[in-house]
Amino acid sequence: MMRWSPLARTTATYYRQSMTDRASLTALRNMIAEVETLISTTTPLPENRTARSLELLRAALVLTDDMIVQKKREVEKPH
């Protein structure tokens, strides 16, 4: 069983909490979009890897966009 140091646990907890804020989700979306652009403009990889990579990245963009919309709704929801 792997034992996590207190610093690693604190860092992991912070990371999970910070990834749920809208700015972090937007940053993640932008990184995925940049990788998608890089892959789509490079020499194709063998064995259909480029197409599969693009498919996965585009799915990740859709999921991230949905998470951003959900976060926006949470913030706008009256209490």
Dihedral (CA of 79, 26, 54, 12) sign: negative
The stretch 68-72 carries a mean pLDDT of: 88
What length does the chain have? 79
pLDDT at 52 over 60: yes
Report phi then psi at 44, rounded to 5: -60, 140
Residue type, 79: H
- Output the pTM of the full model: 0.69
pLDDT tens for each residue of 11-37: 666 556 555 688 889 999 999 999 999
Q: Angle between the 49-76 and 22-40 helix axes, to the nearest 10 degrees? A: 160
